[in-house]
Chains A and B, each alone.
Chain A
């Protein structure tokens, strides 16, 4: 239910909403999670734009990963095998060198990569490569219908028709919520079961109403 490429506005397509400041977007995501009573693991803003054909797509806008602090890093659950962990660490090492502009080195492995890459960290990282056509996946459904999608419970996620929900369940999530805003969709995920809250939806409407 997701497209594999990110979108650039086509010159003949309708003008998308003006891009908003990356820093304030990060602050809004952080405020949403840190100010919540519930324990959310991450928040992602999927930004609405258009692909080369003018079709509406949701692509990565920004994300804030909090993790599962109560559980402590050492106790974070991972279902990954040793080979999978090596793969994740290798990818992280390469991403680290991509960002820092240097070749992967022993030093890199000491500070950021040698620690286990948890399932939720990996789910969050992989999310950066994804985008959703209008109506596709949980974010696409929420945006297309202008209506929140709230999936709570491992069974509900695991039996969802959406690939992203099923992937989330495999990587230890128990709740995924997608709340539409003017220019995109705010997605929150948690390793705990969190039931629907109008308070959270109101916060999203206030924090992500970019025209104000």
Chain B
């Protein structure tokens, strides 16, 4: 994970946030 380039952090953060939302709505 420490090698994940900075440029991809935004995509990753968005994916994790939306995943959390999907969990809560499931």
User: Which of B8, B9, B16 meets A112, CB within 8 Å?
Assistant: B16
Is the beta-carbon distance between B4 and A65 smaller than 8 angstroms? no
From residue B25, how far is it (CB to closest CB) to chain A in Å?
9
Known: A26-B14, A62-B11, A128-B8. A94 touches B1 (CB 8 A): yes
A residues sitting closer than 8 Å to B (CB atoms) are 6, 22, 26, 60, 62-63, 65, 67, 72-74, 91-92, 94-99, 111-112, 115, 121, 124-125, 128-129
Is the beta-carbon distance between B16 and A74 smaller than 8 angstroms? no
Q: Is the interface of B mostly helix, strand, loop or mixed?
A: helix
Is the beta-carbon distance between B4 and A95 smaller than 8 angstroms? yes
Q: Mark B1-26, 1 if CB is under 8 A from A, else 0.
A: 11011011111111110111011101
Is the beta-carbon distance between A6 and B5 smaller than 8 angstroms? yes
Known: A60-B11, A63-B11. A73 touches B22 (CB 8 A): yes
**Nearest CB to that of A63 among chain B residues?**
B11
**Nearest CB to that of B3 among chain A residues?**
A129
Is the beta-carbon distance between B15 and A65 smaller than 8 angstroms? yes
